[in-house]
Amino acid sequence: MIAGTPHTTDEKAERVRADFPLLATRTSKGKPLVYLDSAATSQKPRSVIDTVSSYYERYNANIHRGVYEIAERATEAYEAARKRVAAFFNAASTDEIVFTRNATESINLVCYTWGFENLHAGDAILLTRLEHHSNIVPWQLLAAKTGAELRFLELDGQGRVVLDDLERKLQGVKLVALTHVSNTLGTIVPLEQIVPAAHAAGAVVLADGAQAAPHLRVDVRALDVDFYAASGHKMLAPTGIGALFGKRALLEAMPPFLAGGDMIRRVTFERTTYNELPWKFEAGTSNISGAIGLGAAVDYLQTLDMTWVREHEVALTSYALERLAAVPHLTLYGPKQAQERGGVAAFTMGDVHPHDLASILDAEGVCVRAGHHCTMPLHELLGLTATARASFYVYNTFADVDALIEALEKAARIFKL
């Protein structure tokens, strides 16, 4: 592709961009905002913002308890959002979708209920070297408490998961917990190969979909994953709402996570019987507006069409990879082919520290993340302490990539590379 020639998906992205009020604002220096940090959190479309304010303005009430009209309306909207999320992930039933705060909480829920119930000394947990701290630290705690062992699938030179020794590594494994898409290298992990092998070895599979759910068509039944964790805020929804998909049989057998109101059926001073799925895992008053906002977000994504979302991401990422590769002194990390990665590009440039790079880019209105992106072990493996990371989403255009490149060239001039 020739630099500057927009792909056909870009015209739609220009229109999509207009749905996001924040993207029309300018920085304090009057620069247009070039938001390239959606892997940290996405911007929110007008429809999500309006849905959330409409709940607060028109039917704010607690759910699952009031008999009056607005309480019923709130309950209906909350449960309708669950239905939308279940459909988005193609779950068999709404009972298999638990609302949480974020992907981190979804993973911890599985760790502290299924994990502590099922893992014992001598068992193994298999992760990959790509994992975000959220999908490492809970398992380290579990391993330390139970005496279970942590194992890792290694990476090749492009940051792709090596599967040659998968069967050997799976021996004695009770749980495979792995990211679907890496937030640092962008690597798409081939769940369709790993899940059947894991099941054949008798393991349960949890996929961390924080970076995948916003970008790929995720079908939990086709993938046959046992648990799938997602964060709303990375997929156009408000912060503080996330989801956990779990297969019904597993969720039913699991003890509750947090205990309190809403997750009960009947309480006496001596004992409690728990509520049915999925409410058994939703103790206390939920993030009602967040859940309703997440419903609006998946509606919006489905209107865009997840096929287009992915197509645009591949077009934009391959353009970005091509332009970044041509910047002198710039080193790119992760898979070379855009088809093998999500819309994430981590890089370093000469001896410019990523934080200095991000500061110079910020002065140009270009927002990128600098640091270890909550993957310190992966950075250590790459021999790095930090990288700069640009990440793309539905509202980014080829012009945003051009702005990034221009700002990088400016940084190179300032640092006299």
Partner 1 sequence: MDELFYREYILEHYRSPHNYGHLENPDISVEDDNPLCGDRIRVDLKVEDGRIADVRFEGKGCAISQASASMLTDAVKGMKLEDMLRLGKDEIMENLGAETLAAARIKCATLGLKVLKAAAMRALERAVEAEGQRP
Ligand X SMILES: Cc1ncc(COP(=O)(O)O)c(C=O)c1O
Return the active site residues. Answer: 374
Minimum Å gap between C-beta 36 and partner 1 is: 17
Task: Choose between 211 and 287: whose C-beta lies nearer to ligand X.
Answer: 211
108 and 281 in contact (C-beta within 8 Å)? Answer: no
Establish if 374 lies at the interface with ligand X (CB under 6 A): yes
Q: Pick the closer one to ligand X by CB: 277 or 374.
A: 374
Residue for token pair 């700002």: 407
Report the distance separating Cα 410 and Cα 218, nearest Å: 39
Pick the binder of ligand X from 38, 51, 108, 231 (CB under 6 A): 231
How far does Cα 9 stand from its chain's mean position? 23
Pick from 33, 124, 126, 210: which binds ligand X (CB under 6 A)? 210
- The site map against partner 1 for 128-157 (x = CB under 8 A) is ------------------------------
Query: Of ligand X, partner 1, none, which one does residue 211 interact with (CB within 5 to 8 Å by kind)?
Result: ligand X
Alpha helices per DSSP H over 111-247: 116-118, 137-146, 166-169, 191-200, 220-223
**How far is Cα 179 from Cα 127, in angstroms, rounded to an integer?**
8
Residue 390 binds ligand X, judged by CB under 6 A: no
Please list the helix, strand and coil fractions of the chain in percent, rounded to the nearest 5, in that order.
45, 20, 40
| Residue nearer to partner 1 on the CB measure, 340 or 364 | 364
Residue 385 touching partner 1 (CB under 8 A): yes
| 185/375 Cα distance (integer angstroms) | 10
Q: What is the DSSP letter of 206?
A: E
Cα(375)–Cα(96) distance, rounded to whole angstroms? 29
**Sign of the four-CA dihedral 128, 388, 356, 23:** negative
Contact letters (x/-) for ligand X, 7-36, by CB under 6 A? ------------------------------
**Considering the complex, what minimum distance in angstroms separates the CB of residue 160 from partner 1?**
26
Rounded Cα–Cα distance for residues 63 and 102 (Å): 20
Q: Which sign does the torsion angle of CA 133, 134, 139, 144 carry?
A: positive
* Separation of alpha carbons 43 and 37, rounded Å: 9
Using the rule CB under 8 A, is 414 a contact of partner 1? yes
Three-state SS across 244-290?
Answer: EEECHHHHHHCCCCCCCCCCEEEECCCCEEECCCCHHHCCCCCCHHH
Please report, as residue ranges, which positions from 36 to 55 form the binding site for ligand X (by CB under 6 A).
Answer: none
Instruction: Kindly tell me which residue out of 96, 208, 340, 364 binds ligand X, with binding defined by CB under 6 A.
Output: 208
210 binds, options partner 1, ligand X, none, Cβ within 5 to 8 A by partner type: ligand X
> Collapsing DSSP states into helix, strand and coil, what is residue 292?
helix
Q: List CB contacts of 17: < 8 A, sequence separation 6 or more.
A: 23, 395, 397
Residue 134 near which of ligand X, partner 1, none (CB within 5-8 Å, type-dependent): ligand X
CB of 386 to ligand X, least distance (A): 15
CB of 374 to ligand X, least distance (A): 6
Q: Report how many residues bind partner 1 under the rule CB under 8 A.
A: 19
Return the closest-CA partner of residue 370 out of 359, 382, 358: 358
Nearest to 250 by CA among 206, 196, 286, 195: 206
Closest CA to 294 of 284, 302, 306: 302
Phi-psi region of 416 (alpha: psi -120 to 50; beta: other; left: phi over 0): left
Nearer to partner 1, 49 or 417 (CB): 417
Binding mask 326-365 for partner 1 (x = CB under 8 A): -------------------------xxxxxx--xx-xx--
**Residue 374 binds which entry of ligand X, partner 1, none, with Cβ cut-offs from 5 to 8 Å by kind?**
ligand X
What x/- string results for residues 394 through 413 when contact with partner 1 is judged by CB under 8 A? ----------------x---
Q: Which is nearer to ligand X, 138 or 365 (CB)?
A: 138
* DSSP secondary structure code for residue 99 in this structure: E
Confirm or reject binding of residue 341 to ligand X (CB under 6 A): no
Q: Which stretch binds partner 1 (CB under 8 A): 186-194, 241-249, 276-284, 370-378?
A: 370-378
Q: How far is the CB of 391 from partner 1 (least distance, A)?
A: 19
The binding site for ligand X (CB under 6 A) comprises 102-104, 132, 134-135, 179, 183, 208, 210-211, 231, 374
Which residues contact partner 1 by CB under 8 A? 351-356, 359-360, 362-363, 370-372, 385-386, 410, 414-416
